[in-house]
A and B are shown apart, each in its own frame.
Chain A
Amino acid sequence: EVQLVESGGRLVQPGGSLRLSCAASGFTIDDKYMTWVRQAPGKGLEWVSLFYSGHSKYYSDSVKGRFTISRDTSENTLYLQMNSLRAEDTAVYYCAKVIMGATVAFDLWGQGTMVTVSS
């Protein structure tokens, strides 16, 4: 079955760190572009980061310098390292797969993992 399964979300104090994982099955991520999208409680979708062509990595301004996207192709897993966490980072974090090349829309989503930043 083709799927994405996120993990790693939990309650963390402001200023803390967390690493989210997104395990892919049914396909290999090494020839796919992958992304992280978040959704704060009761709010809309917000793009966070993208692992793109030629190992290019992109970030939203709100997380640039604090978050790092990476992948381990041997584990078929995408990661999001989150440092210097703030209350406004509280959200469900989804990983998703880009449908194809320049069409940066997302055709496969995980179930999400909840990150809560609070003291």
Chain B
Amino acid sequence: EVVLTQSPATLSVSPGNSATLSCTASQSVSTKLAWYQQKPGQSPRLLIYDASTRASGLSVRFNGNGSGTEFTLIISSLQSEDSALYYCQQYYMWPPLTFGGGTKVEIK
């Protein structure tokens, strides 16, 4: 099973600054990685797939990169609406499909 480790657990960022979220895989997942955003009381929302492809309609403030075992989601010009939990998910080696434990982004 591919284990995804997300860091940091919590990230506190001032509005207008950038947030960098990391996802590390226990083995290579090529670029078969997705990122999701989940706000309190809401369903997850797909942000990025294939490590760097933005989902339809997604703001260009969200950028994903990486391959192999190291991945990054960068949110630029942070806004209050970006306060949420963010999860990575791999689909290279499955079953099982696996998610990371999540990073909580807080706006200062």
Which A residues form the contact surface with B (CB < 8 A)? Answer: 35, 37, 44-47, 50, 58-61, 94, 96, 99, 102-107, 109-112
Residue of B whose beta carbon sits closest to that of A106: B46
A61 to B95, CA, bound (A): 9
A37 to B46, CA, bound (A): 14
Asked, given contacts A103-B50, A107-B55, whether A47 binds B44 with beta carbons under 8 Å apart, the answer is no
Would you call B34 and A47 a contact (CB within 8 A)?
Answer: no
Q: Which of A60, A94, A105, A112 contacts B34 (CB 8 A)?
A: A105
A45 to B50, CA, bound (A): 19
A111 to B44, CA, bound (A): 9
Which residues of chain B are near A103, meaning CB under 8 Å?
Answer: 32, 49-50, 91
Would you call A58 and B94 a contact (CB within 8 A)?
Answer: yes
Which B residues form the contact surface with A (CB < 8 A)? Answer: 32, 34, 36, 38, 43-46, 49-50, 55-56, 87, 89, 91, 94-102
Chain A residues touching B, majority SS: strand
Which residues of chain B are near A61, meaning CB under 8 Å?
Answer: 96
Could you say which of A37, A59, A96, A105 has the most chain B C-beta atoms within 10 Å of its C-beta? A105
Asked, given contacts A44-B101, A103-B49, A105-B46, whether A59 binds B95 with beta carbons under 8 Å apart, the answer is yes
Would you call A112 and B91 a contact (CB within 8 A)?
Answer: no
Which residues of chain B are near A60, meaning CB under 8 Å?
Answer: 95-96
Would you call A50 and B43 a contact (CB within 8 A)?
Answer: no
CB distance from B106 to the nearest CB of A (A): 17
Which residues of chain B are near A94, meaning CB under 8 Å?
Answer: 43-44
Which residues of chain A are near B97, meaning CB under 8 Å?
Answer: 35, 47, 50, 104
A58 to B51, CA, bound (A): 24
- The list of the 6 closest CB pairs from A to B, nearest first, reads A105-B34, A104-B91, A109-B43, A105-B49, A47-B97, A45-B99
CB distance from A54 to the nearest CB of B (A): 15
Residue of A whose beta carbon sits closest to that of B44: A109
CB distance from A40 to the nearest CB of B (A): 12
CB distance from A56 to the nearest CB of B (A): 10
A7 to B99, CA, bound (A): 24
Would you call B50 and A44 a contact (CB within 8 A)?
Answer: no
